[in-house]
Amino acid sequence: MSGNFAYRRLDKSDAAVLLVDHQSGLCNVVGDFSPDEFKNNVLALADAAKYFELPTILTTSFENGPNGPLVPELKALFPDAPYIARPGQINAWDNEDFVKAVKTTGRRQLVIAGVVTEVCVAFPALSALEEGFEVFVVTDASGTFNTVTRAAAWSRMEAAGAQLMSWFGVACELHRDWRNDVEGLGALFSNHLPAYRNLITSYGAGR
């Protein structure tokens, strides 16, 4: 490892979440996760964004076409969040309203997830990196056709400087210390990880 390495942690005071093109049509092409697993991961990330009170931006691409509307659970979770329905731009960063919404947050760390990984995630991630943002890609809340295309997308983004994380890793790095709120973080994990529910139940029974 390079001697110049600096561990840049996610900071809840400087992070914003970008949920890109989690649309009813596009989600049908996700093949690198099962439908239930993928939906759970996306909602887990969304719940974490809500829990940590992170600015969250929702965007869709060509939703009147085959891509379909935003999945309703996300709109219900963030009824007041900026919602950018892009008329056609494939790269969300090519949409002025989206970029304005991102910059209006004042945050420099961007947590990105979307469908599909090599396009709807990679394109804005690379664009944001070019403009000096720190980018954290949530790998298990982003989906694509298969593991081959996923690996190529991950490699491209990582080579450009993006950090690859899971939603669980994002939540833990934001939280920092269990003593900040055992019950709250435990509930978040329990709602999305059955094995963790068993752990928390055991913890509660022993108190």
- Active-site residue, from 15, 20, 116, 120: 120
Helix or strand (DSSP H, E) at 174: helix 167-175
Q: How many CB atoms lie within 10 A of CB 23?
A: 24
On whether the CB atoms of residues 111 and 16 are closer than 8 A, the answer is: yes
Tell me how crowded residue 8 is: count the other CB atoms within 10 A of its CB: 10
What are the distances in angstroms from CA 102 to CA 14, 17, 58, 97, 154? 12, 9, 10, 9, 22
Cβ–Cβ < 8 Å for 142, 121: yes
- The yes-or-no answer on residue 120 being catalytic is yes
Residue that has been written with the tokens 């396009």 in this structure = 119
142/9 Cα distance (integer angstroms): 21
Q: Which residues are catalytic?
A: 120
